[in-house]
């Protein structure tokens, strides 16, 4: 499949500069592109590659448009235009509708038109599968669960009973939606399991990465709002709420009953404690631990910059002794009769 640059401009909303009759068939990087490809520049560090690329056309921001004589699509958000172009040139193959002979579909499940159910999938009693849904091989859809219109479940996804997924969702292989939350009460040195009677509610246009797990609520529901993007191997605890348009990178963990606002960005391997509130518009850097609520938007980072190991050990040793240094400083200030501003240790004084 190839398409003209003029048609791509019209379909993506980008400005066309140069020969709109140029045809392209695929997307590629500036370095690897050849005469049938369109490349893109969204990171200034690759700007020098514009001069040497063999691409037929490029996608650039206005500031870089003059750096190349190639036909181009110009946009203030070239990465978004690239995403649209890639979707046009590389559409996902559609599965033929119908239920595979080895799938097990309960007699009381409701399957709409144009649904594809793969080999060895299982759909429970009362489940509702809406129009255009594609369910991969080995998926399990629990009793009373609902999968919204045009959603895609890759192979071996598990949706527990009564959980609901909105329209146009993408759920990657190995994801588990609606397993029991980690709710335990202790009595006489032993654990008593607390029944988890809520469910998981997932909005429209949500993507859930491979092997990501979202626990069902203990009493209320765990809620993932519209357009949330979850990377691979993320854990979302019971009764959490993730606000619309928030993106969370791989290996992050969110403990139970935490609310994350809208338009947040959580970096990979970030750890967020339970029963916290994260305001709208917060960015948490990768590897950061969040142990108190955040009430103001902004960027929050709690990770040391990398150091040579020997130097890191010296810094860590000094940090362990900070409370000792603080006590010595207060003693010296008291003896001199000239105390400086109080050092806030983060703890109450007694």
Helix (H, G, I), strand (E, B) or coil at 23: strand
Active site residue 275: no
State how far the Cα of 97 lies from the Cα of 154, in Å rounded to an integer.
Answer: 15
Q: What is the DSSP letter of 97?
A: S
How many CB atoms are closer than 10 A to CB 49?
Answer: 17
Q: Which helix (H) or strand (E) holds 242?
A: strand 241-242
State how far the Cα of 90 lies from the Cα of 240, in Å rounded to an integer.
Answer: 35
State how far the Cα of 252 lies from the Cα of 283, in Å rounded to an integer.
Answer: 13
Could you tell me the two tokens for 281? 């518009």
Beta-carbon contacts of 42 under 8 Å, excluding residues fewer than 6 positions away, are 61, 78, 79, 82
C-alpha distances in Å from residue 102, one per residue of 1, 57, 151, 271, 329: 34, 47, 21, 41, 74
What is the Cα 88 distance to its own chain's centre? 23
Q: Tell me which of 108, 238, 275, 350 is the catalytic residue.
A: 238
Q: Which residues are catalytic?
A: 238
């Amino acid at each position: 499949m190839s398409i003209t640059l003029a048609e791509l401009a019209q379909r993506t909303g980008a400005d066309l500069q140069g020969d709109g009759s140029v045809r392209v068939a695929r997307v590629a990087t500036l370095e690897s592109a050849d005469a049938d490809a369109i490349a893109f520049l969204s990171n200034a560090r690759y700007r020098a590659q514009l001069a040497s690329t063999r691409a037929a056309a490029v996608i650039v921001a206005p500031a870089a448009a003059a750096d190349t004589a190639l036909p181009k699509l110009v946009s203030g958000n070239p990465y978004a235009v690239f995403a649209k172009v890639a979707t046009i040139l590389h559409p996902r193959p559609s599965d033929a509708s119908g239920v595979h002979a080895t799938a097990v579909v309960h007699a009381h499940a409701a399957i709409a038109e144009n649904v594809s159910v793969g080999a060895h999938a299982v759909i429970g009693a009362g489940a509702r599968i809406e129009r255009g849904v594609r369910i991969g091989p080995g998926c399990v859809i629990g009793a009373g669960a609902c999968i919204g219109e045009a959603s895609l479940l890759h192979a071996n996804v598990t949706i527990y009973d009564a959980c609901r997924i909105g329209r146009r969702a993408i759920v990657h292989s190995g994801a588990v939606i609606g397993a029991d939350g980690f709710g335990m009460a202790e009595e006489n040195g032993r654990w008593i399991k607390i029944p988890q009677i809520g469910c998981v509610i997932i909005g429209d246009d949500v993507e859930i990465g491979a092997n990501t797990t979202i626990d069902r609520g203990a009493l209320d529901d765990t809620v993932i709002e519209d357009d949330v993007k979850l990377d691979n191997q993320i854990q979302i605890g019971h009764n959490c709420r993730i606000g619309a348009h928030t993106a969370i990178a791989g290996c992050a963990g969110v403990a139970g009953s935490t609310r994350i606002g809208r338009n947040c960005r959580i970096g990979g391997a970030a750890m967020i404690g339970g029963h916290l509130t994260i305001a709208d518009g917060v960015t948490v850097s990768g590897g950061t631990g969040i142990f108190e609520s955040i009430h103001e938007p902004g960027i929050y980072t709690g990770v040391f910059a990398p150091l040579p190991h020997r130097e890191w050990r010296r810094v860590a040793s000094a940090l362990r002794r900070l409370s000792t240094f603080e006590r010595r400083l207060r003693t010296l200030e008291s003896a001199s009769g000239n105390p400086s501003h109080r050092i806030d240790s983060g703890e109450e004084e007694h």
